[in-house]
Every structure is written in structure tokens, then in C-alpha cells.
Structure 1
Amino acid sequence: MDTHKIMIVDDDPHICEIVQVYCEREGFISTYSHSGTEAMRLLTSFEPDLIVLDILLANENGIDWCRNARKFTSAPIVFLSSQEEDEVKINALTYGGDDYVTKPFSPGVLIAKIKAHLRRVSSGRKEQLLELPGLTLDFYTQSVNTGGTPIFLSKKEFGLLSYMAQNVNRVISVDTLFQIIWGMESLEDTRTVAVHISNLRKKIEDDPAEPERIITVRGSGYMLVANSALART
């Protein structure tokens, strides 16, 4: 069973501690932050599966933080706030929130809502997997599994691999990969494709110097090979 990660963002240390205690009783990994700025840094390093977020943060509005956070995460966000006005609740749910719990709150009810949202996310996970012989891509975590352990990729690495996986056993030109992943208006050079392919091979190939999964077709481009012989035993 996966261990879910919960991030708590509230300027009240007592609230953070209460929520953390109840989360850890359920076997969740949890962390908390008291400020929006710190929480935004924590968002990218901790990569939470769900966020519990207060409306009134120190020097920042939680709804604004939520809108900004949606650029970086699709994790469910459960607002936890003392504000009971319908307008506030509507704005919170309109601008990225998934649920709203008012203070004072029942920790048991909050945990039940957290578990419900995690179940909803987990039920959709199977649709976010692409499985090839010996290779599984997880579009939710942007990771690849080649031997039982997830290997996390950069956004560009995962973009390259997922596009090739959706066109498996087909040669894809460097120009096509560059246009799809970097975009026509990118200031990058097409040679950056080779650099990212090299880094990708280091992560998913048994021997990056003699790649068997992502092969180079000289003069044409790259091809992701799906061969049952490559499946790990």
C-alpha cells in the first residue's frame, strides 16, 4: 500500500500539530508550513499527495496561494478555515480547492475527507499508467518503473519518454521531438534533445553506452523499442 504524503499550510502552529498527529495515526507522511512563501518551496521538494490549506496565512491569502500552486500540482487541496461566508467558500472551490472544512473542526471528519479525496485520486491512477514490456510510465508522478522501483524524471525527460512510448517502435525525428516537447518558440537548440536523451538513458538503461530501449536510428532520429526480451525478471 502506498504511503500518502500530506502537506499542512496554516499559520497556527497548534492547528498544524493537531492535523499532523491525526495524519500520522493513519500512517500518512506529513509536513507543515506556517507561511505561503515557505509552503511554495516545500511544494516542489515534498511533492504532497494532498494539501490542507488555511485561508488566512501570514501576509498572504490562501486562495491566492492555491491559484498559484495549481501551476505546479494537481494534488487535492482541502481548505481549513474559520471563515464561514458563502462567498469565501465559493471562491476557494472555484480557484483550485477541492473541499472546505470550517474551524472549529472535528479532526475525525477532516481525516475522513482526506481519505475520501485520496481514494478518488487513487481510483484514477490506473488510467494514468502506460505499460510496456518491462517499462511502466506513471503520468501522475511523472516517473518510470523498470524494475520495481520508481525512477523520477525531469519534466522534459518524462515528456520525451512518454511521447516515444505513445509511438512505440516508431522512429521519431529530432525535429519532431524538439517541436513537441520544447515548442516552436523555444530558444533552445535542437541539440538539447540529444542531451536529454542521454540523461534519460542513464536512468532507464542497464548500459547507457549500449542502449537497448531508446535506440538511435542514424540520420532519422530515435525510437523506443518495446521488446518482451527487455522485461525484467
Structure 2
Amino acid sequence: MGTYKIMIVDDDPHICEIIQVYCEREGFISTSSHSGTEATKLLASFEPDLIVLDVLLANENGIDWCMNARSRTDAPIVFLSSREEDEVKISALSYGGDDYVTKPFSPGVLMAKIKAHLRRVSTGRREQLLELPGLTLDFYAQSVNTGSETIFLSKKEFSLLSYMAQNVNRVVSSDALFQLIWGMESLEDTRTVAVHISNLRKKIEADPANPERIITVRGAGYMLVARSPLQTRT
């Protein structure tokens, strides 16, 4: 697959050693750190292509580290954790993580996931951007840039926003959004669309109570409005 650089952040030296052995077998260059502070310094000097990150570092939270690291790197982040609760997994993936592997883990499965993410990296990130006036969607990082900041979204939030972005300035019904993203067999109902739209507004609207980007068209659905700054003022 070529020479890629893998950074492992885990406070267990034994786990770091195991992953590094498997990385070497694949021809990857790897390094490890055992704390978030050390990892932040290493991030700048090593410039990894992918990061394997423990959720629970000694006296630190790996998810918080991931959130902060996202302003410095676009590298895929694969979380490792002994925590299996859904809320932990959701937080990890919502705040910048790309994958989640629970401990104890199979090194072979972990390497397969690492190689899959590296293949996506190699396709070229520039092809995975959708630019609109005032908004840029990054399909690789599952983020949106509003011009002033980059915001990382959950999978469902990004799916909603990206579909509306591909139908920009057009009304999309709640039923269409629900069927596309949740599917006909989902145990949820269309009310979950409204919940996720509300969460999206909190993240990308200057005033979520008076949205200007994602507006509600009463009786019809929602519309993503993309206007240039000049158009917004008029």
C-alpha cells in the first residue's frame, strides 16, 4: 500500500508494541506515545497518515484529545477502547473519530480497518469537498466549514446536511430525509429528523432559534439556503 505513518496513542506500552509489530509487517512507519500531552507534540513532528487512539488515557480523555487534534490534522482516527457503551462510541465518532474498535481486539482486524482508511486517504481528499456559498462540506472528515470554523458532525447529521446540500435552495420533505437516511425498516419515526435538524442548527447557525441556513418550510419540509454574504445582507 506504500509507506504510511501510523501514530499510536495508548497508555499501555504492551498494546503499543503489538500494534507497532503489525504495522512493521505491513511496511508502515509507526511511533507511539502514552499521554495526550506527549501525543500533541508528536503530532506536529511526525505528521501521521493515521492515528490509533485510546479513549481512556491515564488522567486524560482521548475524545477530548481527538477534538483538539482535529484543528491540526485530517488524518483518520481509529479509537481503541474497553468501553462498549453506545454513548461512548457515539461521542467518539461524533467528535472527530473515524472508527471504533473495542478491547480486547484482534490485531488482524485492526490492521484491516487501518488499511481500509488509508485507501480512502489515497483517493485524494480534494475530490471529497462540496463548496457552497458560506459552507464547505468535507465528506472525508464528516465536517462542515462555515468560514469561521470547522465543525465535526455525527454520521446522521452529516448525512442530513450533505443531502440537503446536494438539493440546495430546494425544499426536502421530512419523509424523504427519513427514508433516505434511516430507512423504511427503522424503529424511529420522522420526529427524529426534527431532532437531528435541531442539533445541526445548534452547530452551524449563528442563532439556532432564528435559523438562516436550514429553514423550515411549514407543511413541506426543510431547505438548506446557501447565499453569498452580499445576498444575505439584502
TM-score by length of 1: 0.59
Deviation, structure 1 residue 26 = 3.3
- The CA distance in 2 between the partners of 1:188 and 1:47, in whole Å, is 25
- The CA distance in 2 between the partners of 1:12 and 1:220, in whole Å, is 53
**1:135 matched to 2:175:** no
TM-score by length of 2: 0.59
The amino acid that maps onto 2:45 is E
**1:65 matched to 2:124:** no
The amino acid that maps onto 1:162 is S
> Which has the greater radius of gyration?
1
- The CA distance in 2 between the partners of 1:230 and 1:214, in whole Å, is 18
The amino acid that maps onto 2:136 is T
The one of 65, 71, 81 equivalent to 1:41 is 81
- The CA distance in 1 between the partners of 2:167 and 2:45, in whole Å, is 41
Deviation, structure 1 residue 59 = 7.0
Cα contact 1:172–1:223 (8 A) shared by 2: yes
Q: What residue number does 2:32 align with?
A: 20
- The CA distance in 1 between the partners of 2:231 and 2:111, in whole Å, is 41
Deviation, structure 1 residue 6 = 2.9
Within a 5 Å distance, the mapping from 1:201-220 to structure 2 comes to 201-220=201-220
SS of equivalent to 1:211: coil
- The CA distance in 1 between the partners of 2:181 and 2:104, in whole Å, is 37
What per-residue deviation string (whole Å, max 9, x for no partner) do you get for residues 50-99 of structure 1? xxxxxxxx9754223344x47xx9522xxxxxxxxxxxxxxxxxxxxx6x
SS of equivalent to 1:19: strand
Q: What residue number does 2:8 align with?
A: 7
Query: Could you tell me the percent identity over the aligned residues?
Result: 57
- The CA distance in 1 between the partners of 2:194 and 2:133, in whole Å, is 24
Change (3 A) 1:31 1:168: closer
Cα contact 2:96–2:141 (8 A) shared by 1: no
Q: What residue number does 1:182 align with?
A: 182
Structure 2 stretches of 5 or more lacking a match? 21-29, 34-40, 55-77, 83-88
What per-residue deviation string (whole Å, max 9, x for no partner) do you get for residues 167-226 of structure 1? 001101110000011111100011111111111011111111111111111110000011
Cα contact 1:216–1:222 (8 A) shared by 2: yes
When the two structures are aligned, how many residues end up with a matched partner?
172
**1:164 matched to 2:164:** yes
- The CA distance in 1 between the partners of 2:230 and 2:202, in whole Å, is 16
Within a 5 Å distance, the mapping from 1:47-86 to structure 2 comes to 61-67=106-112, 69=113, 74-76=116-118
- The CA distance in 1 between the partners of 2:136 and 2:149, in whole Å, is 10
Q: What residue number does 2:155 align with?
A: 155
Q: What residue number does 1:144 align with?
A: 144
- The CA distance in 1 between the partners of 2:152 and 2:210, in whole Å, is 22
- The CA distance in 2 between the partners of 1:59 and 1:173, in whole Å, is 43
Change (3 A) 1:203 1:5: farther
- The CA distance in 1 between the partners of 2:209 and 2:230, in whole Å, is 16
The amino acid that maps onto 2:184 is M
The amino acid that maps onto 1:200 is L
Q: Considering only aligned residues, what root-mean-square deviation do their CA atoms show, in Å?
A: 4.0
- The CA distance in 1 between the partners of 2:96 and 2:204, in whole Å, is 22
